[in-house]
Amino acid sequence: MAQEVHFARQLVQSATDIAVVTHIRPDGDAIGSLLGLGLALAASGKSVQMISGDGVPSTFRFLAGSDRIRTHLEELSGSLDLIVVVDASELSRTGTVLDGYPSPHINIDHHPTNTNFAGINLVEVSAVACAEMIALLLPELGLQIDKPVAEALLAGMLTDTIGFRTNNMTTRALNVATSLMEKGANLSEIYQKVLLQRSFQAMRFWGSGLSNLQRDGRIVWTALTMEDRKNAGYPGRDDADLINILSSISDTDISLIFVEQPDGNVKVSWRAVDNIDVSGVAQWFGGGGHRAAAGATMPGPLAEAQKSVLEVTRKLTFSSK
Ligand code: 5GP
Ligand code: MN
């Protein structure tokens, strides 16, 4: 990757008008990576647009600079000379924000399902978060890590590892986290804000999902309907991270959640234990992700999506055993 990093550095150094773009339905790593790279570029004097097609979830709005994130590129972006996409394995994961623009120059990502869609693809699957990669890349790109950058990157690392407890954790990741703390990021405060605090509405939404929990052998799942969302008063389109709770159920190999979307589609999330790979099942349904955590969006109705996903999940993950 050394050669690619060298090219990326040249592109970054010579660019003046830069867009950094992250994936739709952004999680903490998406926002942390976007802000980490975007703020570092801005601090070096570049003109930077930080773009998240779906905006910034309220959980991450405490991060300095998050108010500078926009949902669209500015009209006059004819002068854009560098487009960087972060934490997205495919161009389609950026939504429609890059429609009509040249294909991205640089992609920084850690998903094994990455399709190498950019000119320069910095893809490292052993990184626990895209934010970890960015923390390591910034000095190589000639950019500084100040306190807001460190906070954003630590938030990204914490969320993708659910507080440094996923099975892909490495000593390198902990060392990177240490260096971000040394730059001023407050671990316990960021941990509280991105992983522990929940709105009252989110808790009520969890309640609906938990009361409908199902199990078949070593698979557990639940669904969150639009009705559940309305009753709870929960604003987002996501599962309020309920999947992370399901994945802590003992004697279980795979947990799934089905989240009904306003457009009738169904967002599916898979989580798996160590020796099971769910990224292939997610890809089968047009999605992607990691061995232990993957997702896809598919057509409804909910009951049918649920039936076929459970069937294929059983087939693809257990048949070869
Ligand atoms: P989640 O289920 O929490 O949304 O996502 C789990 C993992 O799967 C994340 O790494 C996320 O980026 C990836 N993922 C989720 N949905 C999709 C999708 O529709 N397409 C692709 N390629 N990856 C997805
Ligand atoms: Mn990520």
Which ligand has its closest atom nearest to the C-alpha of 32? Answer: 2
C-alpha 294 to ligand 1 mean position (Å): 5
Confidence of residue 1 (pLDDT cuts 50, 70, 90): confident
Confidence of residue 321 (pLDDT cuts 50, 70, 90): very low
Q: Is 297 in the pocket of ligand 1 (CB under 6 A)?
A: yes
Q: Is 113 in the pocket of ligand 1 (CB under 6 A)?
A: yes
Q: Is 294 in the pocket of ligand 1 (CB under 6 A)?
A: yes
Neighbours of 16 (CB within 10 A): 12
Give per-residue pLDDT as tens, 116-157. Answer: 999 999 999 999 999 999 999 999 999 999 999 999 999 999
Residues 162 and 265: their CA atoms lie apart, in Å, by: 27
Q: Rounded to a whole number, what is the distance in angstroms from the first to the last CA of the chain? A: 36
Residues 280 and 207: their CA atoms lie apart, in Å, by: 30
Give residue for tokens 């522990």: 196
Q: Which of ligand 1's atoms lies nearest the C-alpha of 160?
A: 10
Contact, 262 vs 226, CB < 8 A?
A: yes
Residue among 90, 124, 269, 309 to mutate when testing ligand 1 (max atoms within 8 A of CB):
269
Asked if pLDDT for residue 308 goes beyond 90, the answer is yes
If one compares 9 and 320, the residue with the highest pLDDT of the two is: 9
Asked if pLDDT for residue 77 goes beyond 70, the answer is no
Asked if pLDDT for residue 75 goes beyond 80, the answer is no
What pLDDT is attached to residue 319? 47
Mean pLDDT to the nearest integer, 234-262:
95
C-alpha 231 to ligand 2 mean position (Å): 31
Residue % of the chain over a pLDDT of 70:
98
Amino acid at 292: A
The encoded tokens of residue 249 equal 């159920």
Q: Is 287 in the pocket of ligand 1 (CB under 6 A)?
A: yes
What pLDDT is attached to residue 76? 64
Residue among 23, 86, 87, 93 to mutate when testing ligand 1 (max atoms within 8 A of CB):
93
Classify burial at 178, counting beta carbons within 10 Å of its beta carbon; exposed 0-12, middle 13-18, buried 19 or more. exposed
C-alpha 76 to ligand 2 mean position (Å): 30
Give per-residue pLDDT as tens, 92-119. Answer: 999 999 999 999 999 999 999 999 999 9
Give per-residue pLDDT as tens, 275-296. Answer: 899 999 999 999 999 999 999 9
Whole-prediction pTM: 0.90
